[in-house]
Amino acid sequence: MIAEKYFNAALLGGLALIAFWAYGADEPFTITLLTKVTILALAGVGLNIALGQGGLISLGHAVFFGIGGYAMGILASHAQSYQPMTLGPWMIEGTKSMPVIWLTAMVSAGLVALSIGLVSLRTNGVYFIMITLAFGQMFYYFSISWPAYGGEDGLSIYVRNSFPGLNTLDPIQFFGITFALLLLALLFHAALVRSPFGLALNAARQSPERVKTVGLNPFRLQLAAFVISGVITGLAGALFADLNRFVSPTMFSWQLSGEIMVFVILGGTARLCGPVAGAAMFIALEHWLGGLSEYWHIYLGLLLLAVVLFAPGGLIGIVTRREAAHD
Amino acid sequence: MTFVLFAEQVLNGVQLGVMLFLMASGLTLVFGVMGLINLAHGSLYMVGAFAAAGVAAATGSFLLALCAALAAAAAAGAIVEMLVIRRLYARDHLDQVLATFALILIFSEGTRWVFGSFPLYLNVPAYLAGPVTLPGGIQYPLYRLFLIVVGLAIAGGLYLMIARTRLGIQIRAGEADREMIAALGVDISRLYTIVFALGAALAGLAGALVGTIQSVQVGMGEPVLILAFVVIVIGGIGSIKGALVGALLVGLTDTLGGVLLPRIFATFMDNSGATSAGSAVASMLIYLLMAAVLFLRPRGLFGGAA
Amino acid sequence: MKSKLIAAAASALTLCSGTLGTAALAGAHMSDVKVGMITTLSGGGAGLGIDVRDGFMLAVKLADTGHIEVVIEDDQRKPDIAVQLADKMIQSEKVDLLTGIIWSNLAMAVVPSATAQGKFYLSPNAGPSALAGKGCHKNYFNVAWQNDNMHEAAGAYANSAGYKNSFILAPNYPAGHDSLTGYKRHYTGALAGELFTQLGQKDYAAELAQIRASGADSVFFFLPGGMGISFLKQYADSGIDLPVIGPAFSFDQGILQAVGDAALGVVNTSQWNKDIDNAANKTFVEAFQAEYGRLPSLYASQGYDTANLLISAMAKADIHDQDAFRAALEEADFESVRGDFAFAPNHHPIQDIYVREVIKEGDVYTNKIIGVALEDHQDVYGADCKM
pLDDT digits (tens, 9 = 90+) for C139-177: 999 999 999 999 999 999 999 999 999 999 999 888 888
SS3 C279: helix
Identify the CA nearest to B38 among candidates B189, B196, B176, B241. B196
Question: Which domains does chain A show, CATH number per domain?
Answer: 2-326 (1.10.3470)
Q: Enter the pTM of the model.
A: 0.84
Q: To the nearest whole number, what is the mean pLDDT of chain C?
A: 89
- The CB density around residue A197, as the number of other CB atoms within 10 Å, is 17
- Chain A: nearest CA to B22, how far in angstroms? 19
In whole angstroms, how large is the CA radius of gyration of chain B?
A: 20
- Chain B: nearest CA to C230, how far in angstroms? 4
Task: Determine whether the interchain pair B123/C197 forms a contact, defined as Cβ–Cβ distance below 8 Å.
Answer: no
Element spanning C166, H or E: strand C165-171
Q: Is the pLDDT of residue C377 over 90?
A: yes
List all chains that touch chain A, counting a touch as 3 or more CB pairs closer than 8 Å: B, C
Distances (CA, A) of A321 to A314, A316, C235, C359: 11, 8, 61, 66
Question: Which residue of chain C has the CA closest to B270?
Answer: C194
Question: Which residue type does B82 have?
Answer: M
What pLDDT does residue C170 have? 94
- Contact yes or no for A237/A43 (Cβ under 8 A): yes
- The CB density around residue C114, as the number of other CB atoms within 10 Å, is 27
In whole angstroms, how large is the CA radius of gyration of chain C?
A: 21
Query: What is the pLDDT averaged over residues B165-194?
Result: 82
Q: Where does the pLDDT of residue C73 fall: very low under 50, low under 70, confident under 90, or very high at 90 and above?
A: very high
- The CB density around residue C19, as the number of other CB atoms within 10 Å, is 10
Task: Determine whether the interchain pair C230/B123 forms a contact, defined as Cβ–Cβ distance below 8 Å.
Answer: no
Instruction: Choose from C42, C233, C257 for mutation: most chain B CBs within 10 A.
Output: C233
Measured N-to-C along each axis, helices C174-186 and C149-160 cross at an angle, to the nearest 10 degrees, of 30
Identify the CA nearest to B226 among candidates A63, A134, A121. A134
Q: What is the pLDDT of residues B237-281, one digit of tens each?
A: 888 999 999 999 999 999 999 889 988 888 888 877 788 888 888
- Contact yes or no for A315/A277 (Cβ under 8 A): yes
> Distance between CA atoms of C69 and C99, rounded to whole angstroms?
13
Question: Which residue type does B224 have?
Answer: V
A164: left (phi over 0), alpha (psi -120 to 50) or beta: beta
What pLDDT does residue A321 have? 65
- Contact yes or no for B108/B218 (Cβ under 8 A): yes
- The CA-based diameter of chain B, rounded to the nearest angstrom, is 68
- Chain B: nearest CA to A318, how far in angstroms? 16
Put simply, whether B44 touches A (Cβ < 8 Å) is no
- Contact yes or no for C353/C150 (Cβ under 8 A): yes
Element spanning A110, H or E: helix A98-120
Dihedral, B242, B248, B251, B253 alpha carbons, nearest 10: -90
Question: Which residue of chain C has the CA closest to B121?
Answer: C258
Query: What is the pLDDT averaged over residues C340-366?
Result: 94
Q: Is the pLDDT of residue C44 over 70?
A: no
- Chain C: nearest CA to A220, how far in angstroms? 36
- Contact yes or no for C173/A152 (Cβ under 8 A): yes
Side-chain-facing half-sphere of A271: CA atoms under 13 Å: 30
Q: Classify each residue of A256-288 as buried b or exposed e, where b means 16 or more C-beta atoms within 10 Å of its C-beta.
A: bbbbbbbbbbbbbbbbbbbbbbbbbbbbebbbe
B190-249 residues touching A, CB cutoff 8 A: 226, 229-230, 233, 237
List all chains that touch chain B, counting a touch as 3 or more CB pairs closer than 8 Å: A, C
Task: Determine whether the interchain pair A125/B298 forms a contact, defined as Cβ–Cβ distance below 8 Å.
Answer: no
Identify the CA nearest to B100 among candidates B89, B87, B85. B85
What pLDDT does residue C6 have? 42
The residues, any chain, with a CB within 8 Å of residue A5's CB and separated by 6 or more, are none
Long-range contacts of B228-231 (CB under 8 A, 24+ apart): B228/B20, B228/B23, B228/B24, B228/B27, B228/B41, B228/B42, B229/A130, B229/A133, B229/B27, B230/A130, B230/A134, B230/B286, B230/B287, B230/B290, B231/B20, B231/B21, B231/B23, B231/B24
Dihedral, A271, A272, A274, A275 alpha carbons, nearest 10: 140
- Contact yes or no for B206/B272 (Cβ under 8 A): no
Element spanning C24, H or E: none
Question: Count of residues for chain C?
Answer: 387
Question: Count of residues for chain B?
Answer: 306
- Contact yes or no for A97/A161 (Cβ under 8 A): yes
- Contact yes or no for B131/B140 (Cβ under 8 A): yes
- Contact yes or no for B246/B87 (Cβ under 8 A): no
Side-chain-facing half-sphere of A6: CA atoms under 13 Å: 8
> Distance between CA atoms of C371 and C360, rounded to whole angstroms?
18
> Distance between CA atoms of A266 and A279, rounded to whole angstroms?
8
CATH number of B3-296: 1.10.3470
> Distance between CA atoms of C35 and C307, rounded to whole angstroms?
10
Q: What is the pLDDT of residues C312-330, one digit of tens each?
A: 999 999 999 999 999 999 9
Task: Determine whether the interchain pair C255/B119 forms a contact, defined as Cβ–Cβ distance below 8 Å.
Answer: yes
Burial of B6 (0-12, 13-18, 19+ CB in 10 A): middle
What are phi and psi for residue A306, nearest 5 degrees? -60, -40
Task: Determine whether the interchain pair C206/B130 forms a contact, defined as Cβ–Cβ distance below 8 Å.
Answer: no
> Distance between CA atoms of C132 and C142, rounded to whole angstroms?
9
B298: left (phi over 0), alpha (psi -120 to 50) or beta: alpha
Task: Determine whether the interchain pair B8/C209 forms a contact, defined as Cβ–Cβ distance below 8 Å.
Answer: yes
Q: Where does the pLDDT of residue C31 fall: very low under 50, low under 70, confident under 90, or very high at 90 and above?
A: confident
> Distance between CA atoms of B53 and B71, rounded to whole angstroms?
13
DSSP string, chain B: --HHHHHHHHHHHHHHHHHHHHHHHHHHHHHHHH----TTHHHHHHHHHHHHHHHHHHH--HHHHHHHHHHHHHHHHHHHHHHTGGGTTTS-HHHHHHHHHHHHHHHHHHHHHHH-SSPBP----GGG-SEEEETTTEEEEHHHHHHHHHHHHHHHHHHHHHHHSHHHHHHHHHHH-HHHHHHTT--HHHHHHHHHHHHHHHHHHHHHHHHTTS-B-TTTHHHHHHHHHHHHHHH-TT-HHHHHHHHHHHHHHHHHHHHHHHHHHHTTS-HHHHHHHHHHHHHHHHHHHHHHHHHH-TT-SS----
CB pairs under 8 A between B and C: 124
- Find residue C197's DSSP bridge partners: C171
In this complex, the residue of A33, A144, A153 whose CB is nearest that of residue C108 is A153
> Distance between CA atoms of B97 and A304, rounded to whole angstroms?
11
> Distance between CA atoms of B47 and B220, rounded to whole angstroms?
10
What pLDDT does residue B1 have? 66
Measured N-to-C along each axis, helices A218-244 and A62-81 cross at an angle, to the nearest 10 degrees, of 50
What are phi and psi for residue B91, nearest 5 degrees? -85, 170
On chain B, the residues whose CB falls within 8 A of the CB of A297 are: 105-106, 108-109
- Chain A: nearest CA to C328, how far in angstroms? 27
Q: What does each of the 327 residues of chain A score in pLDDT, given as a tens digit?
A: 678 888 899 999 999 999 999 999 888 889 999 999 999 999 999 999 999 899 999 999 999 999 999 999 999 988 877 778 777 777 788 888 999 999 999 999 999 999 999 989 988 888 899 889 989 999 998 898 777 788 888 888 878 899 999 988 888 999 999 999 999 999 999 999 999 999 999 999 888 888 888 888 999 999 999 999 999 999 999 999 999 888 989 999 998 999 999 899 888 888 899 999 999 999 998 888 877 777 888 888 998 899 888 887 788 888 776 544 333
- Contact yes or no for B80/B103 (Cβ under 8 A): yes
Distances (CA, A) of B268 to A257, B62, B259, C190: 37, 48, 16, 21
SS3 C139: coil
What pLDDT does residue A1 have? 65
Question: Which residue of chain C has the CA closest to B113?
Answer: C42
Question: Which residue of chain B has the CA closest to C213?
Answer: B5
Query: What is the pLDDT averaged over residues B19-48?
Result: 92
Task: Determine whether the interchain pair C237/B143 forms a contact, defined as Cβ–Cβ distance below 8 Å.
Answer: yes
In whole angstroms, how large is the CA radius of gyration of chain A?
A: 20
> Distance between CA atoms of C117 and C110, rounded to whole angstroms?
11
On chain C, the residues whose CB falls within 8 A of the CB of B129 are: 237
In this complex, the residue of B16, B118, B279 whose CB is nearest that of residue C196 is B279
What pLDDT does residue C13 have? 40
Question: Dihedral sign, CA of A264, A266, A270, A276?
Answer: negative
- Chain C: nearest CA to A192, how far in angstroms? 32
- Contact yes or no for B146/B79 (Cβ under 8 A): no
What pLDDT does residue B115 have? 87
